[in-house]
Amino acid sequence: MYTRPFPGRPRPGVALRALALPLAALLALSACSSGSATSSPGSAARAELAALPKATPSALAPYYGQKLTWRSCGVPGFECATMKAPLDYAHPGAGDVRLAVSRKKATGPGKRLGSLLVNPGGPGASAVGYLQAYAGVGYPAQVRARYDMVAVDPRGVARSEPVECLDGRAMDAYTQTDTTPDDRRETGELVDTFKEFAEACGAHTPKLLRHVSTVEAARDMDILRAALGDRRLSYVGASYGTLLGATYAGLFPKRVGRLVLDGALDPSLSARRLNLEQTGGFETAFRSFAKDCVRRRDCPLGTKVNEVGPRLKAFFTRLDQHPIPTGDADGRKLGEALATTGVIAAMYDESTWEQLREALTAAIKDKDGAGLLALSDSYYERDPDGRYANLMSANAAVNCLDLPPAFATPEQVEKALPSFEKASPVFGEGLAWAALNCAYWPVKPAGEPHRIEAKGAAPIVVVGTTRDPATLYRWARSLSRQLASARLLTYVGDGHTAYGRGSSCIDSTINAYLLHGTPPAAKKRCS
């Protein structure tokens, strides 16, 4: 799942905080792992993630014994290092992967509590970038005083031997591909686009593509724990970062320190169920936006809540036939695909709703698509020079390797369309078709949906937001029931994730846990 910096005029604690990309949405983006295409939509996995042996295998001893050489990052207050991990844990002698690590030492006062590893999600978001831009300076001062703040870019992501697929111009074309095909010709074009993307990824990073799974990334985190000199791992993971953290707990339950899993994923569900439920999550967020919009004098989508969805859908349909200018230096126009991405981007946090209203007003009334294009570009991590971060490439690589695809053929998508459109009349069709992306991946998937119990782990805090668009509250409830030592902390509100978003109740509860090891009371709710 998964974080793009929130687009527009983000406030501290929102931009670069947590990334959950839509599971199937927007072509290659799958906010979390895909489930089995053969599983029924409601099926839960019976398999359980098994803990690894307590003793470190001798073949991995050189990795666990390595000493990190810290150097200046060029960012004041931060140090950087490079860590080695085996490319293939089954064959440690077959080569290494080099991972980028960054830290900011505890500032004091107070006794140092060790390292606090952070991850903002994705998969594909840079944890190092998140640390240096937000967590290392924006986390509560009392937490930064007691912990060394640490991040590692997971294998295949950003500074850690990134997965490479398409160049900037090809990515521009890719992000504009129509994901609501009207006929067989357009369906064929969409399938060809998915195939071209997958083939490019396979051509550029064929070996790495087989070893970017969540399980491998979680094992890398344990090597980092040892290299940092910590007996147990303390960690705050948001969105997809919750899957990474829960996987660590399942593999190394006795090495769990203080784990916060904010905006949790449910590893036990099939991809089709995950994608379908997340589609409904974006619809819930959109309804909250609609209720807010019609109370404003500048709402461009009507004065009644039941008008907003149909009018937005009609706008998307017009763009499908007649894209509008954006003033973009590369000549891009705003079509249905980019406009949909821009709207979805604004669903992550209510602070961007004003920006979305302004962008929609300009697009609908003045035929100026610049505002929605800016939202879309921020979501995709496209810079003004037309270069993309490797977010989309890494996102697809991790998700398509973790588990089998939601759909194997266009015919399966067509059969599922009614359920997706029922879940979201506005976004359902596009999100259903986008879930086809992993069907053509050049590497076979490595697992199936599974439960994570982490028996014997110290208390783990799972945080769920009741109207989270990207990681549904029911997923947090499910994960908290799977993890043997979990405590569920509920935020009653809108937006993606909860920590650092303005709730003093949430923040003080998590801070008490991180600083004193005190988990929240059972069934604690905040607003």
Catalytic site positions: 239, 468, 496
> Residue 48's beta-bridge partner residues?
451
| Greatest Cα pair distance in the chain | 67
360 phi and psi angles, rounded to 5 deg: -65, -40
* Lookup result for tokens 């999600």: 121
Instruction: Mark out the alpha helices in 322-452 (DSSP H runs).
Output: 336-346, 353-366, 370-380, 391-402, 410-423, 428-434
336-346 and 305-321 helices, crossing angle to 10°: 150
Cβ atoms of 410 and 187 closer than 8 Å: yes
DSSP state of 498: -
CA-to-CA distance for 346 and 163, rounded, in angstroms?
Answer: 27
Tokens representing 234? 């303390």
CA-to-CA distance for 59 and 296, rounded, in angstroms?
Answer: 63
Q: Within its chain, how far is the Cα of 102 from the centroid?
A: 20
CA-to-CA distance for 334 and 338, rounded, in angstroms?
Answer: 6
> Residue 44's beta-bridge partner residues?
269
